[in-house]
Amino acid sequence: MSLLAQTDLTEFATPDIAWSLLAPFVVMAVGGILLITITSVVPVLRGRGFPAGFTILTAAVSAWFCRSIWNGFAENGSQSIVADALAIDRMTIVVWAIIAMAVFLVAALFDGYLRRENFDGPEWYVLMLMSASGAMLMAAAQDLILIFLGLEILSIAVYVLAGLHLRRLTSQEAAFKYFILGAVASALFLYGIALVYGATGSTNINVIAGARAANDIGLNPVEDSSMVLAGMALMMIGFAFKVSAVPFHMWTPDVYQGSPTPVVAFMASAVKVAGFAGLVRVFWDGLGYYAPDWRPLISVLAIASLVLGSFMALAQSNVKRMLAYSSITHAGFILVAVHSLAGGSEGGLDSAEGVVNSVAGGEAFLFYLLAYSLLVIGSFGVLTMIGGRDDRGHNLDDLRGLARSRPVLAGLMAVLLFAQAGVPFTSGFTAKFRVILAAANSGSYVLAGIAMLAAVVAAVLYLRVVVSMFMVDAPAVAHAMTATVDDSEADAETEAAEDEADVVDPDRWARIPRPAMFAVFLAVFGTLVLGIFPWGENALREAAVEIAFLRQAG
Amino acid sequence: MLDLAWLIPAFPLLGFVLLILFGRRLGEPAAGWLATLAAAGSFVFTVIAFIGLLGEGTEERFHIIKLFTWLDVGSFQADAGLLIDPLSITMCLFITGVGSLIHLYSVGYMHGDPNFSKFFIYLNLFIFSMLLLVLGDNLLLTFLGWEGVGACSYLLISFWFSDESNASAGKKAFVTNRVGDFGFMLATFLVFVNLGSINYDDIVTRSGEMSANTATLVVMLFLLAAAGKSAQLPLFVWLPDAMAGPTPVSALIHAATMVTSGVFLLTRLNPLLAEAETWSTGLVAWLGAGTALFAATAAVAQNDIKRVLAYSTVSQLGYLFLAVGVGAYVAAIFHMVTHAFFKALLFLGSGSVIHGLHDEQDMRRMGGLQKLMPVTAFTFIIGWLAIAGVPPFAGFWSKDEILLYAWNYDEAQGKILWAIGLVTALLTAFYMTRQVILTFFGRTRFFDATAAEIDQGWENRVAAARAEADQAREAEQAAEAAMGKASADIAKKQEAVVKAEEKLGASDPADDKHDRLVKAMQKAEAAVVKAEEKASSLVAGVDTAVQQAKEAAGRVLALENQAQSAPRPAVVVTARTEAVELGEIADHMPASYVHRQEYHPHESPPTMTVPLLVLAALATVGGGLNLPFTKDLHFLEHWLEPSLFGHEAEVTSSAGTKWLLAVIAVTVALLAILSAFAVYLRGRRDPATIERPVLANAWYVDQSYADFFGGPGRVFFDMLAWFDRNVIDGAVRAVAQGSTWLGQGMRAMQPGFVRSYALSIGLGSVLVVVWFLGRLFV
C-alpha cells in the first residue's frame, strides 16, 4: 500500500544511498562551515566577492543534487532514511529546491548590499547557509525532535541576521523582538512535542500516524486523545508563529521593517517555506487522522491572516512594512491551500472526488510556495537596491519618480507587484486562482470568497506602490501635507536637491549592483514564465499526489 | 510543416518585443525594417502552412495544435492552441501578406516622424493580435486577440495624440467597440454554460446540443460584437472618425484586418448560425444590406479622400454581412480577400496622394494628379475599377458572387436584398468614379487659394487701402496747415503795409526820410503780393490733397464691399471648376499661399510605390481565386470546404439567370461610371443636387447620437453619474475609508512593545488550546 511502509530498517544502513539522498542538505551545511573556515584561515578571501560567489555556487550545487534526486524518484520512489528520521520524497525535494533557489538569489542581493552599507566579512553568507540547512532539515524531517532541531538551526541564524546591520537601531530592535517572541514560540512548540510523545510513545511521525490506527483496533494503550490534542495545539502555535499567521504575526511588521532588506527577502521566502513544509509534514502526514480537529482552526487562521493582513497593509506608508503585511496575506492564501489539501479527509480520501480535491489543494500549496518565494525575493530585492545608504529609503514617497530615473527597475518592480496583486499572465494570478479554485471545489465557499475579497483589497495596496513609482506628479500618498518641494520645478534637480536635508543618499538610485539586478531579473522571469507556461506542472502534480496519499500511507 | 505554425504569430511577437527593447536605439529606418521583416517572416510561415494544408486530403484539413495548457484546475481547462484550417490560413495569408506590404509602405510614409519606432511597435503588436484572433482555437484566445486589436487601433488612431481630434477619434473607436465586446463576452459565457467548452472544435461538432433559442441568442450577441468590430449599423460611427490616424493605419485597420474580424467570427461559427432560427441569419443579411446602402449614399457626398474610402469600407463590409447572412460564406471570404487587396491599395494610394500634397486630404483641392504622380494614379485607377465591379478586375467576381447568392436566398426577400445590393453597386461605382476624377483628372487645384486664404487676401488688401487712405488724410492735413500758414503770412505782410502807410501819412513829404518811407511802403506791398502769390500756388495743392483723401476713403469702402461679394472657391467642385480670379488681391496673399506656389507635388518614394504596384497586381487578378465558369475553377470554395461543414448555401439558379445577373451588374456599374463622368468631368449637371448635406453628414446618425448623448441622454447619464458618484463610489469610498480606519484602528493593536505582542500570542495560544481541548467533547 505504501512506499514508506515497505522501507526496511536494514536498507537505509547502506551509507551510499543515504548520503547521496542527503546531498543537497549536506552541501548547504558543509558549505557554510567551509566558508567560515576558509575565510578565517585565508583572510584575503574575506573580501566581498568570494563569499558571495562561494554561496551562490553552494546553492547551485545543492539545487543540482536536488535535480538528480528527483530524477531518481521515477526509479526508486521516495524513501525514508537515517532510521526513518528523514523523508526524501517529492515534497522535500520541491521545498529544498525552493530553499536553494532562495539562497542563490539572496546571496546575489547580499553582495551589492554589503558593498553599499560598507560591511565586509563572510558571516552574512555563513549564517544564511546555516539557516538554509536548518530549513532543509525541517522540511525533510520525519521526527519531531529533528523538526525542532531544524527549526532552531534555522531560527537562531535568522535572529542574528536580523540584527546584523550594526549601525541601525531598528535592526537591533528587530533581532531582539524576533528572538524573544521566537523563543516563546519555540518553547510552546517543544512542549507540544513532549505532549504528543507522551500520548503516542514516539516522536516519529510515521509511528504517531500509526498510533491512532493501532489504537482503533485496541493494540495501543498509550494513545491519549486529550494529550494529543493539547500537543497539537501547542505545535500549531509554533508553526503559526513561523509562518506569521494572525494572531501570531505581531513580530512580522517590526522585524521585516527593521531587518536588513535582503535578509527580509530570505526570511520571507526560505523561512516561511520551511515552516509550511513542517506544518504539512507534522499535521497532515503525522496527525492527518485528526484533520477534522485542526482543519477548522486552519481556516480561522487563514481568514484572520487574509483579512487582517490586507487591511493593515492599506494603512502603511512604509513599503517594507506594507509588504510585511502583504506576506501575512500570502500566508493566509497558503493556509487556504493547506485547508483544501486536508479537505480530502472529510470527504474521505476513499472517494475519488476527495482525492482530486486533496491533490488540487496540494498542487496549489506547492505552486503558491514556489511563486510566492520568487515574488517576495524579487520585491525585496528591488527594495534592497533603492533603499539607499543605511537602508532607509523605504517610504512610499521615496519611490516617487522611480520610473523616470530607473525605468527598468521600476518596470521589474511593477511586474512583481502586479503579480502579487494577481494580474493574469503572472505566477501570482495562477497561484491565487489555484488556491481559490481548490477551496471552492472542496466546498469551502466562504473561505474561497474571503480569499477573493482579500485579493481585491490587497490589489489596491500594490497599485498604490505602482502609482507612486510611475506618477511623478501624483501627490504623495503618505506625506502630501509635508511635501515642500514643488514637483514641477524640482524635476531636473529632484535627485540633487530633494534629499540633501534627508538622510538618504543624493543619488540613491544611481548605483545598481549587477548581481542584484540579475537576481531580480531572474525572479521576474520566473514569475512571468510560471504565469504563462505550465512549467513544472507535472512535477508539482506528482508531488501533490504523493502528499495527498501520505496520510493513507502512514 | 504544420508543426511550425506557431511561428506565424511568434514572428510579430518577437518583433514587438525586440522593438520595445531596442526600438529607439535602432531608430529610423532600421526599426521599420525589423518590423517589416517580422511581418514578412510570418507571411513566409503562413505560406508554408498553406502548402502543408494543400498537401492533405479535404477531410484532414482541420488541425488543432496545442501549444500549452494555461490553466488546468479541476474541471476547468484553458488551453492555448492554434486552429489551423483553410479559413484561418486564408485569413492569415492576407493579414500577413497585405500586412507586410503595409509595413513596407510605412517605412516610407512615417519617414521623419519623431515616434518612428513606436509606430512599428504598435504595428507588430497589431499583426500579432490579429493573428491570435484568427488562429486561436477557442473563444478566449480569439477574445484576447479581439481586445488586442482594439487596444492597438486605439493607440494607432490616436498616434498623433497631441492633436485633440486624433485623441478623441481614438477614444471613440475604443468606446464604440466596447459595446460590441460586451456582446462577445456574454456570448462566450453562454456558450461555456451550454456546451461546457469554448473550444471551436467542440462548438462546431456539438453545436447541435444547443436549443434553437439559445443558439439564436448566442448568434445575436456575436452579431453585436461583429457589428462593433466591423463597423455595421448602428455602431459604424467610429470608423469615419478613425481617419485621423496615419494612413497605413487606416489601410491596416480597414482593409486587411480589424474590420474583417467580425465577418471572420461569424464565418468561424457557421454551425452555430445553422442552428439558430432562420430569422437571425436573415437579420444578419438585412443589417448588411442596410449598412451597405446607407454607407454608399454617405460616401457620395464626402470631400475628404480618406472619408470616402472609410464609408466605402463600411459599405463593402455590409456586403460581407449580407453574404454571411444568406449563407454565402465562400463569397464572403472571397470578397473579403479581394476587398483587402483593392481597399488596401486605395487607402495606400490616398496616403501617397496625401504624402505628395503635403498632408492635403480635401479632394476639392486635388485634381490633375495623374501627371504629377503617375504610379499612384495608375494603381489607384486599378483599385477603382476593381471596387466598381468592372470585369475582369477582382471586385467584379466577388461582388457578383454575393449578389447571386442574395438573389438565390429566398423568394421575395432575396430579390429585395439583391436589389439593394445592386443599388449599392451603382452608388459604389458612382462615388469611386467621382473620387478618381476629382483626385486625378481635370485641373490641378492644389495651388488654388483656399477660402481662408482669399479671406485673408482681401483682409490684407483692405488693410493696405486703409493705410493709403490714412496717408492721404495726413497729406491733406499737411497741405491745409501749409495753407493756413500762408494766409497768416499774408495778413502779417498786409499789416506791415498798413503800418508803412501810417508812417508815410504822418511824415513830411519834403523830408528826405520821405523817399525812404515810400520805398519801404512799396517793398511791403511787394511782399504782400509775393505772399498772396505763394498762397494762391498752394490752393491747388490743397484741393488735390482733399480730393485724394476723399478718393482713398471711397476706395476703402469700395474694397470692403468688393471683399464681401468677391468670389470664393466653390463648395462643390467638378473637374471643370475654375480657380478664383485673384485680381485685386494677387499681391496680398498670405504666406501659406505663397509658399505653396513654390511646392512641387511629387511621386512617393519606392518603399511606398512598390506595395502599391504589388497590390494593384493582386487587385487585377484576385478574381482568379474563385472563377464561376466551371466547378473546377471554384478554387476557394473547395479550399474552404473543411471549415464550413456543409453550411454553405446552394445556388439553384440556372446558368442563364447567372449570366443575366452578371450582365445587369456590369451594365449598372458602367452606367454609374458614365454618369459620374458626365457630372464631374463634363459638368452636365450641377453636382450640388447630388451632394446633399444630409448625405455629407451620413444621414445625421452620428450627429443624432451626439445630440442624444449630449441632450436628453445627458440627463440620464448625469443621473447615472450622480448615482455612481454618490451611491456606488460612496460605497467604495466608505469601504476604503472604513478599511483605512479599520487599519488605523488595528494599528493601535500594534504599538511596538514586545509585551503587547507576547500578550497577543498568549491570548491566541489560549484560544487555540481551548479549541483543541473543546474537540474532546465533540
B769 at interface of A, judged by CB pairs closer than 8 A: yes
Question: Is B590 part of a structural domain of the chain?
Answer: yes
In this predicted structure, what is the pLDDT of residue B73? 58
Q: Among A56-60, B240-244, B550-554, which stretch is predicted with the lowest mean pLDDT?
A: B240-244
User: Quick one: B285 and B433 in the same domain?
Assistant: yes
| Side chain identity at residue A161, one-letter code | L
In this predicted structure, what is the pLDDT of residue B295? 92
Chain B residues within an 8 Å CB radius of A230: 769, 772-773
Question: Is B564 part of a structural domain of the chain?
Answer: yes
Mean pLDDT of chain A: 83
CB contact under 8 A, A314 and B769: no
What is the Cα–Cα distance from A334 to A340, expressed in whole angstroms?
10
Mean pLDDT of chain B: 85
Q: Among A132-136, A340-344, B291-295, B599-603, which stretch is predicted with the lowest mean pLDDT?
A: A340-344
| A222-254 residue pLDDT tens | 566 788 889 999 999 999 999 999 889 889 999
| B68-114 residue pLDDT tens | 776 665 556 667 888 988 999 999 998 999 899 889 988 888 888 88
In this predicted structure, what is the pLDDT of residue A283? 92
For residue A181, give how far its alpha carbon lies from the nearest alpha carbon of chain B (Å): 7
Question: Is A497 part of a structural domain of the chain?
Answer: no
Question: Is A337 part of a structural domain of the chain?
Answer: yes
In this predicted structure, what is the pLDDT of residue A38? 92
Residue B751 binned pLDDT confidence (cut-offs 50, 70, 90): low
In this predicted structure, what is the pLDDT of residue A345? 53
Chain B residues within an 8 Å CB radius of A177: 754, 757
Chain B residues within an 8 Å CB radius of A297: 768, 771-772
In this predicted structure, what is the pLDDT of residue B577? 81
In angstroms, what is the C-alpha Rg of chain A? Answer: 23
B748 at interface of A, judged by CB pairs closer than 8 A: no
Question: Is A486 part of a structural domain of the chain?
Answer: no
User: Quick one: B429 and B290 in the same domain?
Assistant: yes
User: Quick one: B736 and B760 in the same domain?
Assistant: yes
Kindly tell me the sign of the dihedral angle through the C-alpha atoms of B129, B131, B134, B136.
Answer: negative
For residue A104, give how far its alpha carbon lies from the nearest alpha carbon of chain B (Å): 27
Question: Is B539 part of a structural domain of the chain?
Answer: yes
CB contact under 8 A, A181 and B758: yes
From B74, B747, B775, residue closest to A437, measured CB to CB:
B74
Chain A residues within an 8 Å CB radius of B72: 534, 537
Nearest residue on chain B to A322, alpha-carbon basis: B743
Chain B residues within an 8 Å CB radius of A457: 739
Q: Which whole number is the average pLDDT over B559-587? A: 81
- Per-residue buried b or exposed e for A19-54, using 16+ beta carbons within 10 Å of the residue's own CB: eebbbbbbbbbebbeebbeebeeeeebeebebbbbb
Checking if the pLDDT of B261 tops 80, the result is yes
Interface test with A, best of B766, B775, B776, B778 (most A CBs within 10 A): B775
Checking if the pLDDT of B484 tops 80, the result is yes
User: Quick one: B471 and B327 in the same domain?
Assistant: no
Count of structural domains within chain B: 3
What is the Cα–Cα distance from B456 to B585, expressed in whole angstroms?
9
- Spatial CB neighbours of B520, under 8 Å, sequence gap ≥ 6: B500, B503
Structure-model confidence comparison of residues B564 and A305, the more confident one:
A305
Grid coordinates representing A228 are 494529543
Structure-model confidence comparison of residues B272 and B700, the more confident one:
B272
- Three-state SS at B390: coil
CB contact under 8 A, A177 and B775: no
DSSP B131-163: HHHHHBSBHHHHHHHHHHHHHHHHHHHTTTTTS
Checking if the pLDDT of B736 tops 70, the result is no
Helix ranges (H only) for B27-136 are 30-54, 86-109, 116-135
Question: Is B61 part of a structural domain of the chain?
Answer: no
Structure-model confidence comparison of residues B249 and B266, the more confident one:
B266
Checking if the pLDDT of B771 tops 90, the result is no
| B578-592 residue pLDDT tens | 888 887 788 888 888
Checking if the pLDDT of A212 tops 80, the result is no
In this predicted structure, what is the pLDDT of residue B626? 84
B69 at interface of A, judged by CB pairs closer than 8 A: yes
By residue range, what is the domain housing residue A36?
Answer: 3-476+510-553
Q: Which whole number is the average pLDDT over A433-445? A: 87
User: Quick one: B621 and B529 in the same domain?
Assistant: no
Range of B200-214, B324-338, B519-533 with top mean pLDDT: B324-338
CB contact under 8 A, A311 and B746: yes
Checking if the pLDDT of B511 tops 80, the result is no
Nearest residue on chain B to A458, alpha-carbon basis: B739
Nearest residue on chain B to A255, alpha-carbon basis: B752
Range of A18-22, A198-202, B313-317 with top mean pLDDT: B313-317
Checking if the pLDDT of A499 tops 80, the result is no
Q: Residue B599 burial (CB < 10 Å; 0-12/13-18/19+)?
A: exposed
What is the Cα–Cα distance from A371 to A382, expressed in whole angstroms?
17
- SS3 per residue for A281-334: HHHHHHCHHHHHHHHHHHHHHHHHHHHHHHHHHHCCCEHHHHHHHHHHHHHHHH
Structure-model confidence comparison of residues B251 and A208, the more confident one:
A208
User: Quick one: B403 and B540 in the same domain?
Assistant: no
In this predicted structure, what is the pLDDT of residue B322? 93
User: Quick one: B497 and B558 in the same domain?
Assistant: yes
Residue A8 binned pLDDT confidence (cut-offs 50, 70, 90): low
CB contact under 8 A, A315 and B747: yes
Chain B residues within an 8 Å CB radius of A313: 743
Residue A147 binned pLDDT confidence (cut-offs 50, 70, 90): very high
CB contact under 8 A, A460 and B70: no
Checking if the pLDDT of B375 tops 80, the result is yes
Is the ipTM here above 0.90?
Answer: no
B771 at interface of A, judged by CB pairs closer than 8 A: yes
CB contact under 8 A, A537 and B69: yes
Residue A493 binned pLDDT confidence (cut-offs 50, 70, 90): very low
Nearest residue on chain A to B775, alpha-carbon basis: A293
Interface test with B, best of A173, A312, A335 (most B CBs within 10 A): A312
From A229, A296, A533, residue closest to B776, measured CB to CB:
A229
Question: Is B350 part of a structural domain of the chain?
Answer: yes
Chain B residues within an 8 Å CB radius of A190: none
Residue A330 binned pLDDT confidence (cut-offs 50, 70, 90): very high
User: Quick one: B741 and B756 in the same domain?
Assistant: yes
For residue A293, give how far its alpha carbon lies from the nearest alpha carbon of chain B (Å): 6
For residue A348, give how far its alpha carbon lies from the nearest alpha carbon of chain B (Å): 18
Question: Is B621 part of a structural domain of the chain?
Answer: yes
CB contact under 8 A, B754 and A236: no
* Half-sphere exposure at residue A111, Cβ-oriented, CA atoms within 13 angstroms: 23
CB contact under 8 A, A184 and B69: no
Chain B residues within an 8 Å CB radius of A407: none
Checking if the pLDDT of A491 tops 50, the result is no
Structure-model confidence comparison of residues B514 and B415, the more confident one:
B415
What is the Cα–Cα distance from B228 to B239, expressed in whole angstroms?
10
Structure-model confidence comparison of residues B499 and B722, the more confident one:
B499
Question: Is A419 part of a structural domain of the chain?
Answer: yes
Checking if the pLDDT of A278 tops 80, the result is yes
Question: Is A93 part of a structural domain of the chain?
Answer: yes
CB contact under 8 A, A437 and B776: no
| A93-133 residue pLDDT tens | 999 999 999 999 999 999 888 888 888 778 999 999 999 99
Question: Is A484 part of a structural domain of the chain?
Answer: no
In this predicted structure, what is the pLDDT of residue A488? 36
Question: Is A217 part of a structural domain of the chain?
Answer: yes
Range of A154-158, A459-463, A479-483, B146-150 with top mean pLDDT: A154-158
Residue A18 binned pLDDT confidence (cut-offs 50, 70, 90): low
Interface test with A, best of B769, B770, B773 (most A CBs within 10 A): B769
By residue range, what is the domain housing residue B719?
Answer: 712-777
CB contact under 8 A, B764 and A356: no
Question: Is B550 part of a structural domain of the chain?
Answer: yes
Chain B residues within an 8 Å CB radius of A181: 754, 757-758, 761
Checking if the pLDDT of A502 tops 60, the result is no
Question: Is B6 part of a structural domain of the chain?
Answer: no
Checking if the pLDDT of B296 tops 70, the result is yes
Structural contact between residues A364 and A342, judged by C-beta atoms closer than 8 angstroms:
no
User: Quick one: B439 and B496 in the same domain?
Assistant: no
Count of structural domains within chain A: 1
Percentage of residues of chain B with pLDDT beyond 70: 96
Checking if the pLDDT of A509 tops 70, the result is no
In this predicted structure, what is the pLDDT of residue A501? 37
B756 at interface of A, judged by CB pairs closer than 8 A: yes
In this predicted structure, what is the pLDDT of residue B192? 84
| A352-384 residue pLDDT tens | 777 788 888 899 999 999 999 999 999 999 999
Residue A497 binned pLDDT confidence (cut-offs 50, 70, 90): very low
Nearest by Cα to A455 from A395, A368, A396: A368
Nearest by Cα to B647 from B283, B262, B328, B320: B328
In this predicted structure, what is the pLDDT of residue A476? 39
Question: Is A499 part of a structural domain of the chain?
Answer: no
- Spatial CB neighbours of B730, under 8 Å, sequence gap ≥ 6: none
From B71, B73, B758, residue closest to A360, measured CB to CB:
B73
Structural contact between residues A184 and B758, judged by C-beta atoms closer than 8 angstroms:
yes
CB contact under 8 A, A232 and B772: yes
Interface test with A, best of B72, B141, B772 (most A CBs within 10 A): B772
Chain A residues within an 8 Å CB radius of B71: 430, 433
Nearest residue on chain B to A529, alpha-carbon basis: B70
Q: Residue B595 burial (CB < 10 Å; 0-12/13-18/19+)?
A: exposed
